[in-house]
Chains A and B, each alone.
Chain A
Amino acid sequence: MTDLSPHQPPAPPGSIPHADVEHRLRVTDTDPKTAKRAERQVASMFLLSVLFTILFVVSYIGIDKTATIYIPVMGEVGALQIALGFTLGAAIFLIGAGAIQWAKKLMPDVEVVQQRHDQVSPEADTLDAAGQYERGKEESGFARYRMIRRTLIAAMALFPIPLVIMLRDLWVPTPDEVGKSPADILSTTLWHDGLRIVSDGTYRPVRPEDLPVGGLISGVPADLLEVEEIQGNLNARGKAAIILIRMDPADIRSQQGDGWDYQGILAFSKICTHVGCPIALYEQRTHHLLCPCHQSTFDLADSGEVVFGPAARRMPQLPIGVDEEGFIVARSDFAEPIGPSFWERG
């Protein structure tokens, strides 16, 4: 096929063979006016980019960071954010668009061809490499010195051990944790007999009459705020969080322990037994508790048993009562570990 390219490249240096493909001339190849227009088009894109960069700097200095602006479709939005994003985006985009337009309209669009070669090495190289390897092996005596070989393997096998051992102190047990395994620690919470349940967020103790039938309270132990952890009290919170609900005592079909409720008030762990999301999506009509993460559903009127979803275990119940001042208290810790399953749990 004939090559229709207008610029037949000169002699060898820097030339590439054209592909055996039909080539159509572009308008910019034949019409100098169009070519000139394309040139101006590309240049104006670069120029606009310059303009947008300047506008970016102006916006950065001139717009207050709390200012907002109404933009149709978007609504009321941060003015500085929109101005910076638009000017930066436009400035960068136009550089790219200009370069591509330049390539498409003004640089040659004749397809060229190169030959490929199989990746496999020439035989001579392969033979030589094999020879070199054999020579090296022979000279090292790796095959001969059996004792060296074996001790080297032993040394190499053992030397990573220190690196792994040193990971042990990623967890430095707190004074309370010393001597306990992770499984032990996961199995206990702050709750104990007589500890008041307070409403989370307001930390007010709860009286039974505060909680009407159909009511829900996210509760935490009364002494939670005294727990001093470096990040507040999140570790203790993550295990001790409960929900208190109240239903008509006639609706309670079963409980995890006899009389663990108080006049229809039940306390359950708030931490899902699947992978540990906190749950408080309590439907007061059905008494179902739904996890928003993976939709495990527990029936709180029926010992917190699983009725749907991937959780395998029921939601642990906390036995409750009322202290002499009339506030709701826990009667013990949970009878089983709360939260996700683990190997040692049994």
Chain B
Amino acid sequence: MTTSSPIEQAGGATATYVDKRLGSNKFLSRNLAKVFPDHWSFMLGEIALYSFIVVLLTGVFLTLFFKPSMLEVVYDGSYVPLQGVKMSEAYASSLDISFDVRGGLLLRQMHHWGALIFVAAMAVHMFRVFFTGAFRKPREFNWLIGVGLTVLALGAGFSGYSLPDDLLSGTGLQIARGIMQATPVIGTWMAFLLFGGEFPGTSFIPMLYSVHILLIPGLILALVTVHLMLVWVQKHTQFPGPGRTNDNVVGYPLMPVYMAKAGGFFFVVFGIIALIGGLVTINPIWVFGPFTPDQVSAGSQPDWYIGFLDGALRIMPNWETVIFGWTISWNIMIPAMIMPGILFTAIALYPFIESWVTGDKREHNLLDRPRNAPTRTGIGVMSIVFYCLLWVGGANDIIAVAFDLSINAITWFLRVAIFVLPPIAFVVTKRACLGLQRRDREKLLHGFESGRVLRLPHGEFIEVHQPLSPKDLAVITSKTDIVPLPAPERTDADGVRNKLYRIQALRHRLSTFFYGDNVPKPSAAEIEAGQHHAAHDAAIEAPLHDYEDADQIHTFHGGVLHHPGMEETNAQQIADRSHD
């Protein structure tokens, strides 16, 4: 054995051994220092990832004890009020996990809480990505994968909710069967094949089990892997700030800071889920009793993420038509199939719709402030209001009891509100965003109002305007003014009819709807003048305080005015758009 080269020594024995087989050092050299921007809202996706891992780990444990069988047994475990009761093996083994496997209840509760957190974290992560415009080019594919993951997570959650075969989960399946049966043409056959005949049958829980522990988690794992690889390859977006441009990424290196923070956060999320799973009851299956199709409990609800579907079913009017002897159940199809279909399709296609409407085809690595995209922000808030109203519908009986209201009144309120409140939310949000834009413009033109009033030697009163801090200036000037697409001509200069007129006119209208109201950012010269004026104010006041501060303000404001985003002119943008 010859002595190793200095390079090999530097690499270390193990790394060298692996590198000679995999060429891994090239990867390490490129990626150990990979920079990740730091912001609390970038952790939301991590919460989803980590809670998924917790759910996988606890789920593996549960499979060791759970029996996915609908065969009837007589319970003889240690929970007295159910001893001697006939039930399915699935429910009996869930009770055993809860009462006779030490730590079993803890892991079952961690699994369930973890699943709720998983879906919630995905939803909130999606809000963050939506409102900051992080889905824009080049990240549209990752948005699509995210939407796919959300749908899979709903499936994972519902299939898990249905497995213990207690009265609550069975009621959920009974409703699912009813919805399935309402599908035109193939409904009854679909229900009979999936349930192996009549409801409840004996085959659905075993089938659901393999979907829940194999199919869906496998797909989620595959998609999560691609999702993370794309984040890695495309690098994370960042919020605007000093030194941050569309072409760089500012943050902390993977090794060691990000590794410690992200790795540490995994344990924090894991620990919080364990604490909640240990201290807070979720789904006390023993109080619901075994499932039979002729019993029900008041207040039967799905877990939160299915609540919007249940709410839609509740507030839907009872429309059904019979045509040529065929029954079409609008009262089920609209809330349970058509509405969620449209909702998720719209979510999936949103990045493409927005880019088509606005004609914006540039790469975006610097995040939007929600106020700078008022229409998008309005659409987002509108959708959330819509979703939350359905959610209220899903809990209307609990709300009625808790607040002494009538379920009929709540249902009627929602039947109206679902059409009225979301548009109001849109208008209010858009107005609020435009108001914030105007305030930003004021800040750029006059600095921020310090609230201090000075009397000048000649008797004039002024309010001191301070120049913005470098951070504020960078953040506010990160706004890029986008001009709505121009109105098309019906005929061109030679009098030839414009065949694309209608579609172009539509785009013009939508684009105006998107950007027409935006408050234009002041020009670089105006900003300089404004900040200079503010600095002047501060300088007037300076003698009363100290000179050093005033000096500092001057130097900062010189440095920041050359923010890269600011040089972009509207003409250049339009050129970019026509180019793509």
Within 63-107 of A, Cβ neighbours of B (below 8 Å) are at 65-66, 74, 78, 80-82, 84-86, 88-100, 102-104, 107
CA distance A92 to B277 in the complex (A): 13
The answer on a CB contact under 8 Å between A100 and B260 is yes
The answer on a CB contact under 8 Å between B184 and A89 is no
Q: Does B256 contact A (CB under 8 A)?
A: yes
Contact pick for B174, options A21, A168, A277, CB 8 Å: A277
Q: Which residue of A lies closest to B332 (CB)?
A: A275
The answer on a CB contact under 8 Å between B181 and A342 is yes
CA distance A271 to B244 in the complex (A): 62
Q: Does B347 contact A (CB under 8 A)?
A: no
* Chain A binder among B95-103, B418-426, B478-486, B489-497: B95-103
The answer on a CB contact under 8 Å between A293 and B257 is no
Chain B residues with CB below 8 A from A107, complex form = 256-257, 260
Contact pick for A81, options B106, B175, B186, CB 8 Å: B106
Contact pick for B298, options A84, A281, A296, CB 8 Å: A281
CA distance A81 to B263 in the complex (A): 27
Chain A residues with CB below 8 A from B276, complex form = 89
* Chain B binder among A132-140, A230-238, A246-254, A318-326: A230-238
The answer on a CB contact under 8 Å between B193 and A170 is yes
Chain B residues with CB below 8 A from A81, complex form = 105-106, 278
Contact pick for A296, options B99, B138, B249, B318, CB 8 Å: B318
Q: Does A119 contact B (CB under 8 A)?
A: yes
Chain B residues with CB below 8 A from A231, complex form = 70-72, 88, 200-202
Contact pick for B106, options A85, A116, A344, CB 8 Å: A85
Q: Does B358 contact A (CB under 8 A)?
A: no
Within 1-51 of A, Cβ neighbours of B (below 8 Å) are at 1, 14, 16, 19-22
Nearest-CB distance from A70 to chain B (Å)?
Answer: 14
CA distance A295 to B408 in the complex (A): 8
Q: Does B150 contact A (CB under 8 A)?
A: no
The answer on a CB contact under 8 Å between B178 and A85 is no
Chain B residues with CB below 8 A from A234, complex form = 200, 292-293
Contact pick for B196, options A21, A172, A280, A296, CB 8 Å: A172
The answer on a CB contact under 8 Å between B277 and A85 is yes
CA distance A238 to B204 in the complex (A): 15
User: What range describes how many residues of B lie at the interface?
Assistant: 35 or more
Q: Does B320 contact A (CB under 8 A)?
A: yes
The answer on a CB contact under 8 Å between A293 and B296 is yes
Given contacts A182-B189, A292-B300, A86 and B268 within 8 Å (CB-CB): no
The answer on a CB contact under 8 Å between A312 and B331 is yes
* Chain B binder among A141-149, A155-163, A208-216, A302-310: A302-310
Given contacts A231-B200, A235-B201, A241-B293, A295 and B411 within 8 Å (CB-CB): yes
The answer on a CB contact under 8 Å between A308 and B408 is yes
Chain A 160-204, CB within 8 Å of chain B: the 1/0 string?
000000011011111001000111011000000000000010000
* Chain A binder among B322-330, B375-383, B436-444, B508-516: B322-330
CA distance A96 to B332 in the complex (A): 47
The answer on a CB contact under 8 Å between A238 and B200 is yes
The answer on a CB contact under 8 Å between A346 and B247 is no
Q: Does A112 contact B (CB under 8 A)?
A: yes
Q: Does B445 contact A (CB under 8 A)?
A: no
CA distance A218 to B335 in the complex (A): 31
Nearest-CB distance from B85 to chain A (Å)?
Answer: 11
Given contacts A99-B263, A114-B34, A231-B71, A93 and B250 within 8 Å (CB-CB): no
Nearest-CB distance from A44 to chain B (Å)?
Answer: 15
Q: Does A279 contact B (CB under 8 A)?
A: yes
Contact pick for B248, options A113, A182, A241, CB 8 Å: A113
The answer on a CB contact under 8 Å between A21 and B320 is no
The answer on a CB contact under 8 Å between A310 and B314 is yes
Nearest-CB distance from A120 to chain B (Å)?
Answer: 9
CA distance A174 to B198 in the complex (A): 10
Q: Which residue of B lies closest to A174 (CB)?
A: B197
Within 248-296 of B, Cβ neighbours of A (below 8 Å) are at 248-253, 256-257, 260-261, 263-279, 292-296
The answer on a CB contact under 8 Å between A182 and B102 is no
Q: Does A205 contact B (CB under 8 A)?
A: no
CA distance A129 to B318 in the complex (A): 58
CA distance A71 to B212 in the complex (A): 36
Q: Does B187 contact A (CB under 8 A)?
A: yes
Q: Does B163 contact A (CB under 8 A)?
A: no
The answer on a CB contact under 8 Å between A235 and B194 is no
Chain B 318-360, CB within 8 Å of chain A: the 1/0 string?
1110100111110110010000000000000000000000000
Within 394-453 of B, Cβ neighbours of A (below 8 Å) are at 396-397, 407-408, 411
Chain A residues with CB below 8 A from B247, complex form = 115-116
- Residue from A66, A85, A173 whose CB has the most chain B CB atoms within 10 Å: A85
- Residue from B198, B275, B365 whose CB has the most chain A CB atoms within 10 Å: B198
Given contacts A100-B264, A277-B296, A80 and B317 within 8 Å (CB-CB): no
Chain B residues with CB below 8 A from A174, complex form = 197
Q: Which residue of B lies closest to A64 (CB)?
A: B102
User: What range describes how many residues of A lie at the interface?
Assistant: 35 or more
Given contacts A74-B279, A111-B251, A309-B314, A99 and B264 within 8 Å (CB-CB): yes
Q: Does A311 contact B (CB under 8 A)?
A: yes
Given contacts A170-B194, A232-B86, A118 and B294 within 8 Å (CB-CB): no
Contact pick for A86, options B200, B272, B278, CB 8 Å: B278
Chain A residues with CB below 8 A from B243, complex form = 19-21, 111, 113
Contact pick for A93, options B246, B271, B313, CB 8 Å: B271
The answer on a CB contact under 8 Å between B78 and A93 is no
The answer on a CB contact under 8 Å between B196 and A170 is yes
Q: Which residue of A lies closest to B470 (CB)?
A: A22
Q: Does A223 contact B (CB under 8 A)?
A: no
Given contacts A84-B103, A168-B193, A341 and B250 within 8 Å (CB-CB): no
Chain A residues with CB below 8 A from B253, complex form = 16, 112
The answer on a CB contact under 8 Å between A85 and B35 is no
The answer on a CB contact under 8 Å between A92 and B274 is yes
The answer on a CB contact under 8 Å between B314 and A342 is no
The answer on a CB contact under 8 Å between B175 and A343 is no
Nearest-CB distance from A5 to chain B (Å)?
Answer: 13
Chain B residues with CB below 8 A from A238, complex form = 174, 198-200, 293-294
Chain B residues with CB below 8 A from A16, complex form = 33, 35, 253
Q: Which residue of B lies closest to A306 (CB)?
A: B318
Q: Does B125 contact A (CB under 8 A)?
A: no
Q: Does B81 contact A (CB under 8 A)?
A: no
CA distance A296 to B268 in the complex (A): 45
Chain B residues with CB below 8 A from A200, complex form = 294
Q: Does A283 contact B (CB under 8 A)?
A: no
Q: Which residue of A lies closest to B266 (CB)?
A: A96
Contact pick for B320, options A20, A171, A312, CB 8 Å: A312
CA distance A343 to B321 in the complex (A): 10
Q: Does A339 contact B (CB under 8 A)?
A: yes
Chain B residues with CB below 8 A from A241, complex form = 293-294
CA distance A177 to B249 in the complex (A): 66
Given contacts A103-B261, A276-B177, A346-B327, A237 and B313 within 8 Å (CB-CB): no
Q: Does B531 contact A (CB under 8 A)?
A: no
Chain B residues with CB below 8 A from A21, complex form = 241-243, 250
Q: Which residue of A lies closest to B32 (CB)?
A: A14
CA distance A186 to B179 in the complex (A): 15
Q: Does A259 contact B (CB under 8 A)?
A: no
Given contacts A238-B199, A277-B296, A109 and B327 within 8 Å (CB-CB): no
CA distance A92 to B407 in the complex (A): 44
Contact pick for A171, options B197, B249, B332, CB 8 Å: B197
15 A–B contacts from the bound complex (CB under 8 Å)? A1-B559, A81-B106, A96-B268, A111-B252, A114-B33, A231-B70, A235-B200, A278-B295, A310-B315, A310-B318, A312-B329, A343-B187, A343-B326, A343-B327, A344-B325
Pairs of residues from A and B, 5 with the lowest C-beta to C-beta distance, nearest first = A85-B278, A93-B271, A96-B267, A275-B178, A99-B264
Given contacts A277-B171, A346-B327, 15 further A-B contacts (CB under 8 A): A78-B105, A89-B271, A89-B279, A93-B274, A96-B269, A96-B270, A113-B248, A114-B33, A119-B138, A170-B193, A171-B195, A182-B192, A342-B327, A343-B185, A346-B322
